[in-house]
Structure 1
């Protein structure tokens, strides 16, 4: 009489175990593909007008952001230069005063 251990898989169950592990792997791959939104990417590639529109909007937003950032940075630098110019430092003060004067003339629309 042969005693069968219930924890040990039977011969027919080896195929079931391998199919179940394959099913788990396929489910994980499907979930990963859905997570990466590859279907939306493929749909986007099939519609070139959408790509052009999104890139145009992104480029415009980037350009406006750069312009606002540079304006803020330049205004801060000019403010600091004015303060340094008011200190009347011997060499640096004259140089900074010239820069501030040139910028003010350009802002008024006059030629230098």
Structure 2
């Protein structure tokens, strides 16, 4: 009898933990999203647009910083590196 009540208490605690974990995972919202394929496509489309814009902006900033440092290296007038960097900068400026 005592063993059975202790087992029931442990089981009740585990079920409460599972319910809390499922609520934290937002499993119900995920299942609801899967039930509506148009909403799922819309959410994924918006997420893809956001990723694309983020990549474009990030690459632009990274490219600008790289060109800035390349121009600084050209000013240092290093023997053979300067010529290569100058050619790269010229190609970028001519949009080749």
Greater helix content? 2
How many residue pairs end up in the alignment? 96
Match of 2:65 in 1: 76
Alignment of 1:34-73 (within 5 A): 34-73=23-62
State the structure with more CA Rg.
1
Match of 2:77 in 1: 88
Any gaps of 5 or more consecutive residues in structure 1?
1-10, 107-111
| Higher relative contact order, chain-length normalized (CA < 8 Å, sep 6+) | 2
Any gaps of 5 or more consecutive residues in structure 2?
none
Q: Secondary structure at the match of 2:53?
A: helix
Give, in angstroms, the shift of residue 47 of structure 1.
0.6
- Structure 1 vs Structure 2 CA RMSD: 1.9
Q: What TM-score, normalized by structure 2, do the two folds share?
A: 0.83
* Distance in 1 (alpha carbons) for counterparts of 2:80 and 2:3: 88
